[in-house]
Amino acid sequence: MKNFPFTFGIDVTSAQLEHYDNHIRRRLSSMVGYYSDQQAFARQLAKEDSLLYEVYETRRPEVAGELLNGLSVVHPGKVGDEYFMTKGHFHSVLETGEVYYCLKGEGAMVMETPEGDWSVEELRPGRVLYVPPRWAHRSVNIGANEDLVTFFVYPGHAGHDYGTIEKFGFRKLLVEREGKPQVIDNPRWRAQSV
């Protein structure tokens, strides 16, 4: 990898980077256990293994000093009354933050710390979201028809801890109630035993 400055464009209409060398696709089948309504999940999966979200990245070494960056695209849809969302994660190195810039769509970031704080921040075009160190984060697309597109930047050595969220869930869920997004307590949330 040449260590020279470089530029690339973002085509917001097609929600793609002009240059990327990693493309992750997450389908419904990779989200077993993540959605609250497990019956709706099973019914939907029996019909179609839908594409829920994609990540386009420019690879960089995963070391301190580097800044990993790319485009996250969450497609519109719901499982039961819960909107399409990313798995969500803590960074393995908990003391690392992340910056998101929203380019397209309507969404929210659901966040929490191991200490019990939580926050849900709106994502819409032109808004920057700063996720401080220690905060787990999950993007949720609350739009009816449009992709939620964000550009993200985080430290090269951060790593991903998916296991904690997979096992315990987030404290809060974003669901649709009477046509509107609503933050509710996650009925299946479990406290991490210390």
Residues sharing a CB contact under 8 Å with residue 22, sequence separation 6 or more, in sequence order: 55, 56, 57, 58, 59, 70
Nearest Cα to 156, choosing from 111, 71, 97? 97
Q: Which residue in the set 87, 124, 134, 157 belongs to the binding site for ligand 6PG (CB under 6 A)?
A: 87
Please return the burial class of 59, using the count of CB atoms within 10 Å of its CB with bins 0-12, 13-18 and 19+. Answer: exposed
Q: Which two tokens stand for residue 120?
A: 């849900």
Which CB atom, from 131 or from 178, has the smaller least distance to ligand 6PG?
131
Q: Are 53 and 26 in contact (CB under 8 A)?
A: yes
83 binds ligand 6PG (CB under 6 A): no
- From residue 86 to residue 105, the character string flagging contacts with Ni ion as x (rule: CB under 5 A) and all else as - is ------------x-------
Q: Which does 139 bind (CB under 5 to 8 A by kind): ligand 6PG, Ni ion, none?
A: ligand 6PG
Which CB atom, from 2 or from 74, has the smaller least distance to ligand 6PG?
74
# residues near ligand 6PG by CB under 6 A = 13
What whole-number distance in Å separates Cα of residue 84 and Cα of residue 44?
12
Region for residue 87 given its phi and psi (left: phi exceeds 0; alpha: psi -120 to 50; beta: otherwise): alpha
Per the listing, tokens 């991903």 go with 160
Q: Are 152 and 72 in contact (CB under 8 A)?
A: yes
Segment 31-70, which members bind ligand 6PG (CB under 6 A)? 55, 70
Q: Which residue in the set 34, 41, 84, 152 belongs to the binding site for ligand 6PG (CB under 6 A)?
A: 152
At closest approach, how far in Å is the CB of 2 from Ni ion? Answer: 26
Choose the stretch contacting ligand 6PG; rule: CB under 6 A; options: 29-37, 115-123, 152-160, 169-177: 152-160
141 binds ligand 6PG (CB under 6 A): no
Q: Interface residues with ligand 6PG (CB under 6 A)?
A: 55, 70, 72, 86-89, 98, 137, 139, 152, 154, 160
